[in-house]
Structure 1
Amino acid sequence: MLHKNVECYVDELVVKSKKREDHLQDLRMVFYRLRRYQLMNLLKCAFGVTSGKFLRFIVRHRGIEVDQSKIAAIQAMLELRNL
């Protein structure tokens, strides 16, 4: 499952499916295992989203993008004067 239908980093988890019709079955399999080992906190879950933040990146159906607020922060940095 890992790297096929699931991406995980520390306490962040994303369930992904190649086909929309397979997603419910993929979720069932992941939820079964999370419940079995008491690893799921429903208060921290988001369901049915088409995009979201994961590891400070924006994950969408078409790929991974940089969060625009991070780009703006870098562009707003002052130029170094001394080394």
Structure 2
Amino acid sequence: MERGIEVNPSKVKALQDMPQPRNLKEAQRLTGRITALSRFISKSANRSLSFFNILRRATKFQWDEECDRVFEELKEYLNSLPRLKEWCEGYDIQQTFTSVAYPQSNGQAEVTNREIFRILRVWLDHVRGG
């Protein structure tokens, strides 16, 4: 069986275990880790914009409440990745991530997404009593 593109668990763990950045160098380390996982993080640019804005203001490091909130949301999102993989495997769905660098997998992703939507529709109909 082909494994396809998979997230590196050690990189996810490194980001999840990372404390809140206290200086510019630690903020750079955070953005680097996010970039390394960007193909697995939906809307990674939007999710990490606050951190990149800190780097733009390189003369003054300022971690605010917005950064703290986004950082915690990102960690929660990363926690959901293994659960999604387990859920897909439970329905015999191969989870495939796509990116511009790997366009050949886009067709597989569309098929997978259709199957996920079909299963969710069936489940929702069942829950609603339909």
TM-score (norm 2): 0.23
TM-score (norm 1): 0.31
- Could you say which structure has the greater relative contact order, defined with CA pairs below 8 angstroms and 6 or more residues apart? 2
Greater share of strand: 1
